[in-house]
Structure 1
Amino acid sequence: MAKIKKKGTSGAAKNYTTRSQALRKLQISLPDFRRLCIFKGIYPREPRSKKRVSKSSTPSTTFYYTKDIQYLLHEPLLGKFRDQQSLAKKISKALGRNEVSGAVRLERNLGVKIKLDHIIKERYPTFVDALRDLDDALSMLFLFASLPSTENVPPKTIAKCQRLTLEFEHYLIRTHTLRKSFLSIKGIYYQATLHGQDILWLVPYRFVQRTGGDVDFRIMGTFVEFYTTLLSFVNFRLYTGIGLVYPPKLDAKSEESGAELSAFTLSGQGEGATETDGEAMVDREAQEKAQAAADELLALPAPASEAEEQASTSAQADQNGDDVDAPETTTTLDAFTSLDPNADTLLQPSLTADVQAAAALFEPFTIFLSRETPRHPLEFILKAFGCKRVGWDTSLGEPGAYCSEDDSRITHQIVDRPDLPLPSPPLTEDGVDEDEMLDDGVDDSLAAAKRPSNVRVPGRVYVQPQWVWDSINAGMLQRADLYAPGATLPPHLSPWVKAKRGVYDPTVSLAEQEAEGEAEEAEGDSEDEERDEEDADEALDEASEGEEIEGVRGDAEARDLEDGLVDDGMDVHLGGSDSEGEEEDEVAAGAAEVDEWGGFSGDEDGEDAASSKEARAHQAELEAEARGLAPGVIADAKKVAKEAAKSKRSKAERDAQEETDRRKLMMPRRKRKMFEKMVYSNAQRDEGAEKLRGKRRKIESGKGKVPAK
């Protein structure tokens, strides 16, 4: 007799296990299980059939791979979690006996400290693997760095997130590896290229954050605990890779005063020289050395031996051991050559071209940030793209500012105010102009003290903050007059959206996007609209002279009807004396004479309208004869052009539709349905793009309404 097969021992039921079964096997609580799964990167799985996987009559909702749970059985953190549970029981017993001092002593002496270094090395065996998973880590840490301290978010966690994110920004400033940025509703997006990997993260705006009760901060706190460890490893490798000591020195007093980036002092290894980011001059030799080291490390994965060294938190670790053991290698990029000599030339990749372009974008400028502008994002972006002289108002934080607003070395000032007028030169007490006083060698501090703060300084370029973002996304400085204070700004477009066929692209001219005959058809539609408007205006003018249009009644007559002064359809004659009748006859005769003459304005309007109609009719006759129409036929030239454009466009569409129908006959039914759905979606896309092009055409021709800022 064959052996009876037991349910749940083979097949899909063997590959999956429920969450309750995993908890019984690991012997831990549900919060600890969730925490352990986040640390190890294990997530629930969705089987194809829950009924086949479930070992009971009631199907479960959460399943995990059996091999993943088996892998967690050997995790050292399980012992730490059990120690925490036993310590919690001891503390609760001490508090139950009212032994508060004993509970504090137990927590201080037997407190369990959890380290995640071994998990970082397990999940990221190479440095490039850690960089690929850095997007979510940076977004989460920048979010917690902007949160207020509450019961769920302790101030130590916020301070640690702020320190790690500022250290990461310092590395981007030093190596000029920031590439793009975008201002969105959610926040500010940044993209940097580190060791050949593109990293994109989101930084929220610095508003007052209000934490809601529907957010589980325990889960988010677990992710933050893991991400802080990961970013510590990454920052250590990045800093030591360019010859800097990690962690950088932090000035507590400057940080309390709002210095932020300027509170850190970078120092090189073995040189003894320090570099303060707020100083005016930068050590050029150290910068070139760091840049050369960064270029050599681009796109090179870290071996497992180096990953083990990253786990060491001691600052006195030997950093030169890798250089001695590792063979000397030079980073060379592949050159892409085409086999066909007539093919297009392929662009060859370059390691230092982007870095040099970013380092020289704002380098020759001295930029001042007004107090209404976001200081930290602008300071970070400007310094990451080469500007080393950034000043701001003392109300934003005095430490680290390069200059004040009255400094004569400022070349650009970023403001977010209405249009600022140019100042008029005031007179001094002796009746001398301020410009003459400056030419005579008088100190400019006196003139700056008398100059109002809401006027421009001659010789200084004033721009709005969007000028900085558009310049770095375009890779070149944009025209400053387009971003002047009070001006309507150009559209701020995402640098990651690539133009697709058939989709409206605001960066390309209309001539390159329009379909064949679309411009002529749109022009004919606009002419028809103008003609209808002219006819409506003429009708209103005639109605204003006393003629009644069917279905239209004047506002004054309507008000009189409401008041009962005029009876609709009835004339009421009021009796009076003969003298009054004679006076009315004289007034009527005078009015008749005036109506016969009409005045200057009436004759001019009539002559202009008649001449314009005759000119249009004559032009239409000439074009009709040129097109071969019968003599005496009057056709509108614009209408003829519009119909010709429509016929030309419809003929091309008919030919394409006939070819498509012939091909559809050879398709299977399933593919034909998919093709019809695709055609429908493409038609909807083309219709939307055509509407956007029509709006742009009206705005460029001056007939549309440009939205105010």
Structure 2
Amino acid sequence: MRRLKKYNSGEAVQYITRRAALRKLQLSLNDFRRLCIIKGVYPREPKHRRRAQKGSSDIKILYHAKDIRFLLHEPIVWTLRDYKIFGKKTGRDRAVKDFRNLKRRLALFPELRIDHIVKERYPTFIDAIKDLDDCLTLLFLFSTFPSLRLIPREQSLLCRRLTMEFLHYIINTRSLRKVFISIKGFYFQADIKGQKVTWIMPHHYPFKPHSKAEVDFKVMSIFVEFYTIMLGFVNYRLYHSAGYAYPPRFHGDVIADSEDNFKDELTYWSDRIAVLNSDLVSTEHEADEETEEMDLDLLEQGQNSNRLMKLRKEAQELKRLRTLFKGLKFFINREVPREPLVILIRSFGGKVSWDRTVFAGATFDEIDETITHQIVDRPALGEQYISRDYIQPQWVFDCVNQRCLLPTNRYFVGVTLPPHLSPFVDINRESYVPPEEESLQNESTSNLQKKKETVSTEKETMNFFPLNDEQLQVAYMEEKADIEQYDQKDDRNNISEDEKETHKSQNAMSMSVQAGKVHKENKRVIHKNNVDEHRLQARMVKSRHRNLFRKLIREKQVKEKEKWLLRKKRRAIEAREGDNSK
């Protein structure tokens, strides 16, 4: 029998180092990194690193051998090799100063097409929508970048166009559900084809260059190269499913991209917001709204099962949310960030405008008396109108998260705003809950109880009807039969009068009011009982489940520690505020 050699089977064969993968694919490190990003192949962590590295104790970058064999059959490997050959030939032409031949070679630059890879990685449309979170976040970030050495202007312009097309779909289909302001930017969540898509839109700050040690723009631009193709496919499918023409056409004259607009960053940004405030040309969207109303009517005509009641309630709540700002007109002052507010107001049926002398794309002026709300972020104003409310920008965000129009008196100019709570946290979580969130939850529960009470009283009044003579006769006969049956039972028992009096006295003693006694809880005894109970639970756990039990206990201790730290931080803030008020 032949003796097996060491490291010829098992994990040693399943994994391959990056240097061996480069040798096998005959690619440079940059081309290999680009190929792995586009194909979705990433390093793996083995279970036993020393076995996977064939006895070596150094930490190396390992890949699955199957993934590398999978990359061998990719057609774009030949294109990447053509890039290498192209670089050598053009370098030779520059060295010998053969510019005629160099011009001919530049016209035949090899094109890298990755459309088939997008279809391969996302076989269904729902799979592509599920993976939109990182795609949108990165493209929104790159749409704000100027022209850099590793980021050409064409790439940032493409990101700008694709993100605006996606936002127009969100606005016109009213798919937005949640929003939150954070230090990183504005968090948005939309419901697309039944899938929740969350992305971040960065704050508008002047661009500050970073060093290569902080951010590797070359790797990020490779991701953008793949995500632009992916979002182009998704936008095309979304527009055609909603009944819009793609690429989108806008009503009116929207400022087009030109070299003059790209010289000034403020003009570049205002043109983007002007496009968001314009309407799309549509032919089939009105029919879609009619079908949605018909579906709601069908739900109302269905049977009164719990599931149908829940679906009907969600459909009605969603219908109210989509028309939250319908009939309202907003005017935004120049100091307020306009882009997130335009997206929110237009996504929920409202109309928005600003000063047309400063920014392009305004639809009405400040002197318009039909304006209902003016969004201001400064301590004082000069001229004010009685017919409108002057509010701070947080009112719009809180109304969307609470799914109702909140009272504006807490958001007036100069008023201390209520805390802006995140809608992405779980309501029934075990961790620390701020007191403001608890008060909001209590208010919502009390409102729900009031609604239920009003509905029950309405049902009782609706169910009440006068009795006729036949029903009264039947009720009288039933009551008479019950009285006769009760008298017969008393005759059978033949209880004496003394026993009846003792029974009455006992009932009177049990129903009498007595003074209560204070029961003091011993905290030490309670803690000891809890510790003993925990030890009994630990003893009952089987040996094969002990590691899992320890992990659960450790996670519980970490959550309790975080909760205690947040409470301590809150107490310190409140004490500091109390000292400042004194």
Q: TM-score range by the shorter chain?
A: 0.7 to 0.9
- Quick one: distance in 1 between partners of 2:245 and 2:126? 21
Larger Rg, first or second structure (1 or 2): 1
1:79 Cα deviation (Å)?
Answer: 1.3
The within-5 A match list for 1:526-541 is none
- Contact 1:241-1:294 within 8 A present in 2 as well: no
- Contact 2:22-2:32 within 8 A present in 1 as well: yes
State the partner residue of 1:397. 359
Gaps of 5+ in 2: 262-266, 444-514
State the partner residue of 1:467. 395
- Quick one: distance in 2 between partners of 1:693 and 1:111? 61
**What is the identity, as a one-letter code, of the residue corresponding to 1:504?**
V
State the partner residue of 1:504. 433
- Quick one: distance in 1 between partners of 2:72 and 2:433? 55
The percent of aligned pairs where both chains have the same amino acid is 37
1:243 Cα deviation (Å)?
Answer: 1.1
Does residue 1:15 correspond to 2:14, yes or no?
yes
- Contact 1:190-1:201 within 8 A present in 2 as well: yes
Question: Given the alignment, which residue of 310, 314, 326 partners 1:363?
Answer: 326
**What is the identity, as a one-letter code, of the residue corresponding to 2:327?**
P
1:656 Cα deviation (Å)?
Answer: 6.3
1:217 Cα deviation (Å)?
Answer: 1.3
Question: Given the alignment, which residue of 363, 369, 372 partners 1:411?
Answer: 372
State the partner residue of 2:123. 125
Task: Summarize deviations over 1:422-462 as a string: whole Å, max 9, x none.
Answer: xxxxxxxxxxxxxxxxxxxxxxxxxxxxxxxx232222110
**What is the identity, as a one-letter code, of the residue corresponding to 1:201?**
W
The within-5 A match list for 1:473-492 is 473-492=401-420
The within-5 A match list for 1:258-297 is 258-263=270-275, 278=278, 286-291=284-289
- Contact 1:370-1:393 within 8 A present in 2 as well: yes
State the partner residue of 1:244. 244
- Contact 1:358-1:386 within 8 A present in 2 as well: no
State the partner residue of 1:102. 101
State the partner residue of 1:632. none
The within-5 A match list for 1:188-587 is 188-213=186-211, 214=213, 215-249=215-249, 253-254=255-256, 256=261, 258-263=270-275, 278=278, 286-291=284-289, 347-348=310-311, 352-353=315-316, 355-387=318-350, 389-394=351-356, 396-398=358-360, 400-420=361-381, 454-499=382-427, 500-501=429-430, 503-505=432-434, 506-509=436-439
Question: Given the alignment, which residue of 522, 528, 532 partners 1:661?
Answer: 532
- Quick one: distance in 1 between partners of 2:359 and 2:440? 47
- Quick one: distance in 1 between partners of 2:60 and 2:371? 64
- Contact 1:372-1:416 within 8 A present in 2 as well: yes
1:18 Cα deviation (Å)?
Answer: 1.1
1:698 Cα deviation (Å)?
Answer: 8.6
- Quick one: distance in 1 between partners of 2:312 and 2:58? 55
- Contact 2:137-2:201 within 8 A present in 1 as well: yes
Task: Summarize deviations over 1:335-370 as a string: whole Å, max 9, x none.
Answer: 9967xxxxx998337775455223311111111000
State the partner residue of 1:153. 151
Gaps of 5+ in 1: 265-276, 298-329, 339-343, 421-453, 514-625, 629-643
CA pair 254-394 structure 1, distance change in 2 beyond 3 A: farther
Task: Summarize deviations over 1:136-188 as a string: whole Å, max 9, x none.
Answer: 00000000001121112111111100000000000000100011110001111
1:60 Cα deviation (Å)?
Answer: 5.5
CA pair 245-455 structure 1, distance change in 2 beyond 3 A: same
- Contact 2:249-2:281 within 8 A present in 1 as well: no
1:111 Cα deviation (Å)?
Answer: 0.7
Task: Summarize deviations over 1:657-680 as a string: whole Å, max 9, x none.
Answer: 425424524633968966875675
- Quick one: distance in 2 between partners of 1:511 and 1:202? 27
- Quick one: distance in 2 between partners of 1:469 and 1:393? 22
- Quick one: distance in 2 between partners of 1:510 and 1:36? 50
Aligned length: 486
- Quick one: distance in 1 between partners of 2:174 and 2:328? 17
- Quick one: distance in 2 between partners of 1:66 and 1:465? 54
1:88 Cα deviation (Å)?
Answer: 1.3
**What is the identity, as a one-letter code, of the residue corresponding to 1:497?**
V
CA pair 293-123 structure 1, distance change in 2 beyond 3 A: farther
Task: Summarize deviations over 1:620-659 as a string: whole Å, max 9, x none.
Answer: xxxxxx999xxxxxxxxxxxxxxx8xx84x4477446425
3-state SS in 2 of match to 1:347 = helix
**What is the identity, as a one-letter code, of the residue corresponding to 1:411?**
T
3-state SS in 2 of match to 1:348 = helix
- Contact 1:189-1:200 within 8 A present in 2 as well: yes
- Quick one: distance in 1 between partners of 2:75 and 2:255? 40
1:232 Cα deviation (Å)?
Answer: 0.3
- Contact 1:176-1:358 within 8 A present in 2 as well: no
State the partner residue of 2:70. 71
- Quick one: distance in 2 between partners of 1:60 and 1:657? 48
- Contact 1:18-1:64 within 8 A present in 2 as well: yes
- Quick one: distance in 1 between partners of 2:323 and 2:164? 23
- Contact 1:116-1:226 within 8 A present in 2 as well: yes
- Quick one: distance in 1 between partners of 2:561 and 2:58? 43
3-state SS in 1 of match to 2:419 = coil
1:101 Cα deviation (Å)?
Answer: 3.6
3-state SS in 1 of match to 2:158 = helix
1:207 Cα deviation (Å)?
Answer: 0.3
CA pair 405-47 structure 1, distance change in 2 beyond 3 A: same
3-state SS in 1 of match to 2:74 = coil
- Quick one: distance in 1 between partners of 2:98 and 2:538? 83
1:3 Cα deviation (Å)?
Answer: 2.1
